Amino acid sequence: MSALPGRLLNSAQLLFDLQQANEIAQSFAGCLEPDLIARSVTEGLVERFRCAFVRIWLLEPNQSMLRLVASSGMYTRTDGFFGRVPMGAYKVGKIAQNRVSFLSNNLPEESWVGNREWAIANQIRGFAGYPLAIGHRVIGVLAMFSCQPLESEFLEVLQTLSTIATVALDTAIQYQQEKQNWQLSANNSPSQLALSDQIAKILSSARLTMLGTEQSLSLAISFLLLKMAETLNCASYAQLVYREESVSLEATISTLATDSTVQIQARLGEIKLLASVLGGQLTTQPISHQRALQIRVDLPYVWELSELKVEITCVSPVLQLALTQVAVRAGLTLCTDAEVPLLTDNPNAVAGDRNVIWVTTSYPCPQGIQSRIDLSIQPAQLRQVVEAVTQGYPWGVRANELTERELEILTLLTQGHRDRNIAEALLISESTVKFHLNNVLSKLKARTRYQAIYQAIQQGWI
């Protein structure tokens, strides 16, 4: 295997590539069709990174063959010679079998290439193959071919995108399998079991209580509730509640079995992501002096996004995913549009007169930013922030950006004093009072004094 050039990463290029990868990931967010997810990934890589062609194979249920489900670029057919590849055969099969990535920038010289003349004729130089794996379980392979050498920055991004795509594909595959099982059950029996009966069957060792009138749920919600039940099949108590606008499943498990609890916590991460996509949320709470854990998922029957929009661009892919989850739970529409507020911790993304909501991390805040949040932000609060910034108001401006004199004047205004009274109290001229107030309005981007006072009170400055 040819060695890739050893050098320091270009941070600017890496940031740009991460943003491109994030936009690809957003294109399949919430999708539960494996083939569509795979196609979004391959088409996105070809379009945004100018790859020669990109392919994704998924492991068939028999675990012995890989099926080509998406191919974009030079070749788009999925039924050709490599349409089905046995595990361990060719380079794709070996990547899946051994769960080892393979990278090369001199493809024609690799010994495993069966047709070097083809590679030379089409000027294919770069190759990257990644196993799509969760732990020790492989679900497929992503392979891309490039006419240009693969830069270190792109390989970092490709690996990150592969990880995100793997989680989405695995969730979609499991969903489709469950859907097929339900359909088979419905076709082979006079009447399909109610959801409460199915959950009771899974949680056979738990005391299950159902409250409210059982309703017909969408397939996605039913799937998630059953997945929750399967994850918590060791629960001692469970409760299924049908409310007017939402349904919830709550269970209590013992934390004395440490290994079991760790495994459950790991699987809950996937459920939490699915719940947020469906407009719901998963919460956990220790009880009985940390000896038990109460876990609950709430899902609305109908979920509609608001007209509020935001763009998210973060340096760290992990932070990008975290804030995306918070934004989804807040009911915000994610998009790429210069007209909507930008949520970012990336100084290079701040340009022009764009409304920016700065995420306070280790990066210094650029000059002129009028809206800031920190990592403790909750969905409801983020929604308020985006709404305020969309209307042209700042948020989270630190008090020390207003001078002591400006805060004194604002405080006196809240007490009902007029400019002349304030001037007399502070031993300054009335024109100086007006000068300070104009500065306050400018700093807070407030149109009136009342708006400035309201913001100062909301922020706790006065």
Residues 176 and 35 sit within 8 Å (Cβ to Cβ): no
Residues 40 and 175 sit within 8 Å (Cβ to Cβ): no
Q: Which residue, chain included where needed, has tokens 């069957």?
A: 201
Across 32-50, average pLDDT:
91
Across 296-320, average pLDDT:
78
pLDDT, position 53:
95
pLDDT tens-digit map of 209-254:
889 888 888 767 888 898 888 888 888 889 999 998 899 999 888 8
pLDDT at 299 over 50: yes
What is the total residue count of the chain?
A: 462
Residues 127 and 145 sit within 8 Å (Cβ to Cβ): yes
Q: Which residue, chain included where needed, has tokens 């059953």?
A: 226
Asked if the domains 195-300 and 399-458 are classified in one and the same CATH topology, the answer is no
Give the whole-angstrom CA distance, residue 308 versus residue 384: 10
pLDDT, position 406:
86
pLDDT, position 334:
73
Q: What pLDDT band is residue 132 in, cutting at 50, 70 and 90?
A: very high
pLDDT, position 182:
61
CATH topology of domain 195-300: Heat Shock Protein 90 (3.30.565)
pLDDT, position 392:
80
Helices (DSSP H) in 28-151: which residue ranges? 34-49, 90-98, 116-121
Q: What is the CA radius of gyration of the chain?
A: 28
CATH superfamily, domain 11-179, is GAF domain (3.30.450.40)
Considering the entire predicted model, what is its pTM?
0.45
Across 149-164, average pLDDT:
83
* Proportion of the chain above pLDDT 70, given as a percent: 89
Nearest one of 429, 426, 450 to 440, comparing CA atoms: 450
Q: What pLDDT band is residue 40 in, cutting at 50, 70 and 90?
A: very high
Across 44-70, average pLDDT:
92
Q: What pLDDT band is residue 94 in, cutting at 50, 70 and 90?
A: very high
- Second CATH level (architecture) for the domain 399-458: Orthogonal Bundle (1.10)
Give the whole-angstrom CA distance, residue 140 versus residue 7: 30
Give the whole-angstrom CA distance, residue 18 versus residue 34: 23
pLDDT, position 262:
67
pLDDT at 303 over 60: no
Task: Please spell the DSSP secondary structure of 323-384, one letter per residue.
Answer: HHHHHHHTTPEE---TTS-EEES-GGG--TT--EEEE-SSSPPPTT--EEE-TT--HHHHHH
pLDDT, position 352:
76
Domain ranges of the chain: 11-179, 195-300, 309-390, 399-458
Give the whole-angstrom CA distance, residue 298 versus residue 409: 47
pLDDT at 279 over 90: no
pLDDT, position 3:
39
pLDDT tens-digit map of 112-124:
887 888 889 999 9
pLDDT at 367 over 90: no
Across 417-431, average pLDDT:
89
